[in-house]
Amino acid sequence: MAVGPGLQDTLLPVAGVRIGTASAGIRKKNRRDLVVFELAAGSNVAAVFTTNRFCAAPVQVAREHLRQGAPRYLLVNTGNANAGTGTSGLANARRSCDAVAALTKVTAQQVLPFSTGVIGEPLPVDRIEAGLPAALQALEADAWTLAAEGIMTTDTRPKGACRQIVVNGKTVTITGISKGAGMIKPNMATMLGFVATDAVVDASLLQELLRETTESSFNAITIDGDTSTNDACVLVATGQSGASVSREQGLDSFRQALHDVLVSIAQQIVRDGEGATKFVSVQVSGGKTVAECRQAAFTVAESPLVKTALFASDPNWGRILAALGRAGIDDLDVTGVNVHLNGVLIAERGGRAASYTEEAGVAAMKPEEIVIAIDLGRGQQQATVWTCDFSYDYVKINAEYRS
């Protein structure tokens, strides 16, 4: 189950990136579960990773290898997270990099590993090693959609976006994919995200742009409030278009296009949230700071009582007020708070709006797309968080995750 249309963009090739997929039987047979990205020599690579202290072995190894410079391959497996696996997990992550290096004649440090799936089980490296020749043989430029399918776990559909801009008369392409449907409150990026551009971008600027744009995209979504052990988002600049993006030229248009790609795939994650039937925007305005607006929005977005009311299309507005009241804004004057539900004023001055009727509230809750607009009435700042509802299927999917 998912909300709204699926993949809308044609995922255009990015010069300097080739992708290969294979079925390695890591957890399930006859499905793509191994993806290899080949990056042109000289590509710059930026990345952000999970803040979870139990970060997975591939996260630790990818960080280590990225510091050593010049990545040439990204290796992604689904079906097994290689998290909570201790020293043997680290050894297995490094062994998988060794396997790519041996087949491609690069160093192991030029391979960044990424894993997603069940936590706490040993990584079946032998299956990855056996599947690698097929993935490498399949390398081609126009395989972004296949890769989006190959990194899925409980996702019901692939997620991707693409934008093109012109910089100094040259066309620049930005293409990205992601996966994620549960255990989503990224706190840095998404479950897994891979974005590439053929622009020339300095490594330090590339890292700055990734951190900045993830804050307003992946870091503005939540499905269940759980931060994964394996979150990672990678941004690659191959430079193959010859169009240079710098602080002096092309930066604003490039930043906006990158932001659009990341917001699109972040929202696609929410639309495909496990068991989701509603796509919900929680818009908080009138705050003293952006931080308190985000704090209020996340508290409402992650409230199980709010989320179950959304699933039931029940305009139980008291749950929204209760969530706001515990959001940690200690000096919040509740008499200054107004709340709209899909344009219907449901609460004002700390209580039920005089104009509100139950019929209007029920009608406002029926659509798949819901906007909860909250005015804190205490300042000029604002923030938006995207989330979904909690349905019976969310419990079922997660109860049967290892089945």
Residues annotated as catalytic are 190
Q: Amino acid identity, residue 1?
A: M
Q: Is 104 exposed, middle or buried (0-12, 13-18, 19+ CB in 10 A)?
A: middle
Contact between 310 and 280 under an 8 Å Cβ cutoff? The reply is yes
Q: Amino acid identity, residue 204?
A: S
Q: Amino acid identity, residue 2?
A: A
Closest CA to 163 of 43, 46, 97, 258: 258
Residue with tokens 């394996």: 230
Contact between 370 and 341 under an 8 Å Cβ cutoff? The reply is yes
Residue 166: strand, helix, or coil: strand
Contact between 14 and 197 under an 8 Å Cβ cutoff? The reply is yes
CA distances from 267 to 25, 184, 230, 271, 340 (A): 30, 12, 19, 6, 22
Q: Which residues pair with 368 in a beta bridge?
A: none
Contact between 219 and 188 under an 8 Å Cβ cutoff? The reply is yes
- Beta strand pairing call for 192-197 and 232-237: parallel
Which H helix or E strand runs over 170?
strand 170-179
CA distances from 257 to 46, 264, 294 (A): 17, 11, 23
